[in-house]
């Protein structure tokens, strides 16, 4: 997650912060906010590769790009259970009786931000054609988009368009070439025709930043530089990007009138989440992200009031939270507030099933599973906060199996692991050679994680080499299917287990989301049946069958489901946890009356 430059920056920051702590009396002073109310201060754990929505799939890029780009639909900020609502669409779609045709009206009066790519530098009005172009661009095989799997075999004629691009240089692709299932019938009407029913289309595709409208003028003007020159319709636009250290967005002066929600779920009014009901957003003029790979300097900045909200690092847990899982008296005295919530997430040690050794040796994969003490792992790295992952579907989703612990291989049993290793060596015709683990980061957390894995593998009788790398390098290795074992995880983008099960769809091998490069014909058959079904007990049953197949094949050692403990300062308003959107900065507000000015 970092390179030599960011590593050096962090070390310099640590040294500078150490001096500040001495001056401020070992951090005993209450946090003070030195910026005015117009600035929201955040942090990223890693540098990001680019800000082109058509080709991003990582949460760090989403967090930034989500403030500049918008989608047809979004999940309501306050309502629970989560419900979709129009964002750039003027209304919910009209859906044909056979569930194959979606007619979507586009809002009038939406404009792209001002940019040099437009005539006279003035942003033009959004049109339905911009959505068509965005999706065709993802289909262009020359673009190598990580988002193609969203649309593969989904829209009538789009796969044929992709085939056409195979024989055309990228600069000569005809994006005006008709696609039957993707039409802008006029400037404000988009019609989508599907090859088969797709009940999750609005959440999976049209609330996903991948389908944010793209102005063709911007791509033509910036070329490959579009990754550094985002041009969106959202409330903010890029002002400064010091790669590896800082990203700063500023308010889009031409953003249309959008207001804060006027309704939510029971309890929101009492919690203050409706205090700003009906007010025009965004509230802040600037958004600042410091890229800080190490947890301690991030925490120190938070305690100095220079970051508004942060997840609690494991090394600061006892200073922040007591045995009752509530904030310590000192934190409460400082006006710091705590939010906790289960994330629909799962993290794993993944196996490349196309690796000659691992892919053909199930006993080896089971041996690795049983040598990992997940409870110990969660205690060491997350202060016991997370939940053991016995399978891929997290407990926040209704298709979660209550008896999943009896079906997976997450039980720590070193003797059983050694028995499996003996079978693995017999199958291999001799001892297992040294294995290589790809680790997405070089900071202290990742090095400690690597040491945990080395100890576990050594106890089993295996040797491993940990390859620590920054995020772009890690993605390159995953996308080229060259990682043997890899550390990874995901959080859901929709409240549906199809998001997690799709990780094992054989049509979506890397650089798609199936980074395991896993294939099971029975799984594929059930997946293709379930993916076209509306929500029902029958579909839930299929989900569970698919999860059981994956557990038996063992393409991963599932480790943990995340439980978030986030702290924020008293001045940071409207921080309601939301697990399905990264487009929320426009709702956040700094309350000046509760800040300290110098």
Spatial neighbors of 478 by CB under 8 A, at least 6 apart, are 438, 486, 488, 510, 511, 515
Q: CA dist 571 to 31, 259, 334, 567, Å? A: 11, 21, 11, 12
Mean pLDDT (the chain) is: 92
Its CATH architecture, for the domain 4-49+240-339+570-594, is 3-Layer(aba) Sandwich (3.40)
The DSSP code for 30 is: P
Strands 246-251 and 236-242: antiparallel
Q: Report the distance separating Cα 205 and Cα 158, nearest Å.
A: 14
Element (H, E) at 202: helix 201-204
Phi, psi of 77 (to 5 degrees): -60, -40
- Tens digit of pLDDT for each residue in 550-595? 999 999 999 999 999 999 999 999 999 999 999 999 999 999 764 4
3-state DSSP call for residue 57?
coil
Report the top-level CATH class of 69-229. Answer: alpha beta
Task: Assess whether pLDDT exceeds 90 at residue 299.
Answer: yes
- Using only C-alpha atoms, the chain has a radius of gyration, in whole angstroms, of 24
Task: Give CA–CA dist 234/571, Å, rounded.
Answer: 25
Which residue in this structure is represented by tokens 């063709």? Answer: 216
Burial of 582 (0-12, 13-18, 19+ CB in 10 A): middle
**152-172 pLDDT per residue, tens:** 999 999 999 999 999 999 999
For tokens 């999940």, what's the residue?
75
Averaged pLDDT for residues 339-344: 94
Residue 10: predicted pLDDT: 33
Q: What is the pLDDT of residue 19?
A: 34
Residue with tokens 């593969």: 152
> Does residue 596 have a pLDDT over 80?
no
Superfamily of domain 345-561: Dipeptide-binding Protein; Domain 3 (3.10.105.10)
The model's pLDDT over 6-62, given as tens digits with 9 standing for 90+, comes to 222 333 333 333 333 333 334 457 787 767 779 999 999 888 889 999 999 888 899
pLDDT digits (tens, 9 = 90+) for 451-495: 999 999 999 999 999 999 988 899 999 999 999 999 999 988 899
Q: How far is it, in rounded angstroms, from Cα 377 to Cα 86?
A: 42
Residues 6+ apart with CB under 8 A from 81: 495
Nearest to 162, CA basis, from 151, 476, 171 = 151
Of 303, 259, 302, 308, give the one whose Cα is nearest residue 288.
308
Sorted by where each begins, the domain ranges of the chain are: 4-49+240-339+570-594, 69-229, 345-561
Tell me which residue has tokens 């993605």: 475
Q: What is the DSSP letter of 369?
A: H
pLDDT by residue (tens digit) across 487-526?
A: 999 988 899 999 899 999 999 899 888 999 999 999 999 9
Q: Which residue has the tokens 């550390």?
A: 487
End-to-end CA, the chain: 36
Longest dimension (CA), the chain: 72
* Alpha carbons 72 and 75: distance in angstroms, whole number: 11
pLDDT for res 45: 87
β-bridge pairing 435-439 and 464-468: parallel
Eight-class DSSP state of 106: B
pTM: 0.83
């Amino acid at each position: 997650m970092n390179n030599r430059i960011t590593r050096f920056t962090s070390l310099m920051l640590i040294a500078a912060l150490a001096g500040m702590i001495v001056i401020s009396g070992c951090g005993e002073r209450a946090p003070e906010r030195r910026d005015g109310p117009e600035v929201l201060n955040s942090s990223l754990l890693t540098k990001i590769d680019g800000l082109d929505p058509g080709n991003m799939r990582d949460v760090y890029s989403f967090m930034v790009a989500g403030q500049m780009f918008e989608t047809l639909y979004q999940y309501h900020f306050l309502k629970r259970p989560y419900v979709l609502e129009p964002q750039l669409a003027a209304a919910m779609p009209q859906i044909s009786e056979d569930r194959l045709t979606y007619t979507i009206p586009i809002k009038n009066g939406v404009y792209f931000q001002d940019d040099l790519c437009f005539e006279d530098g003035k942003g033009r009005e959004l049109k339905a054609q911009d959505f068509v172009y965005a999706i065709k661009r993802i289909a262009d095989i020359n673009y190598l988009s990580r988002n193609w799997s969203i649309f593969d075999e989904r829209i009538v004629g789009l796969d044929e368009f992709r085939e056409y691009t195979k024989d055309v240089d990228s600069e000569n692709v005809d994006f005006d070439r008709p696609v039957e299932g993707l039409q802008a019938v006029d400037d404000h009407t988009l019609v989508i025709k599907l090859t088969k029913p797709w009940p999750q289309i609005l959440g999976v595709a049209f609330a996903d930043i991948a389908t944010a409208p793209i102005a063709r003028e911007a791509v033509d003007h910036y070329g490959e530089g579009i990754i550094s020159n985002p041009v969106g319709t959202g409330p903010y636009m890029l002002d400064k990007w010091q790669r590896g250290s800082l990203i700063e967005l500023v308010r889009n002066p031409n953003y249309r009138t959008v207001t804060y929600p006027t309704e939510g779920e029971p309890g929101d009014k009492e919690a203050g989440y409706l205090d700003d009901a009906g007010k025009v957003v965004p509230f802040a003029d600037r958004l600042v992200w410091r890229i800080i790979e190490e947890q301690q300097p991030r925490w120190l900045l938070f305690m100095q009031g220079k970051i508004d909200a942060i997840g609690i690092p494991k090394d600061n847990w006892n200073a922040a939270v007591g045995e009752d899982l509530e904030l310590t008296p000192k934190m409460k005295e400082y006006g710091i507030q705590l939010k906790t919530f289960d994330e629909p997430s799962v993290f794993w040690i993944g196996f490349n099933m196309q690796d000659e050794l691992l892919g053909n040796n199930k006993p080896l994969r089971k041996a690795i599973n049983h040598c990992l003490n997940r409870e110990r792992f969660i205690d060491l790295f997350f202060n016991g906060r997370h939940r053991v992952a016995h399978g891929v579907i997290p407990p926040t989703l209704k298709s979660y199996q209550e008896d999943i612990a009896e079906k997976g291989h997450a039980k720590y049993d070193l003797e059983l692991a050694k028995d499996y290793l003996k079978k693995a060596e017999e199958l291999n015709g001799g001892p297992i050679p040294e294995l290589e683990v790809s680790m997405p980061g070089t900071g202290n957390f990742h090095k400690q994680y690597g040491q945990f894995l080395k100890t576990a593998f050594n106890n089993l009788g295996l040797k491993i080499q940990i390859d620590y790398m920054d995020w772009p390098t890690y993605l390159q290795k995953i996308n080229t299917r060259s990682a043997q074992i890899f550390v990874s995880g995901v959080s859901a983008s929709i409240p549906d287990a199809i998001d997690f099960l799709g990780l094992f769809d054989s049509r979506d091998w890397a650089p798609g989301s199936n980074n395991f490069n896993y294939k099971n014909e029975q799984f594929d058959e059930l997946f293709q049946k379930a993916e076209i079904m509306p929500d029902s007990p029958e579909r839930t049953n299929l989900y569970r069958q698919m999860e059981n197949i994956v557990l038996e094949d063992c393409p991963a050692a599932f480790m943990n489901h995340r439980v978030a403990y986030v702290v924020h300062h008293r001045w940071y308003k409207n921080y309601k946890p939301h697990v399905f959107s990264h487009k929320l900065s426009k709702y956040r507000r700094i309350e000046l009356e509760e800040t300290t000015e110098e």
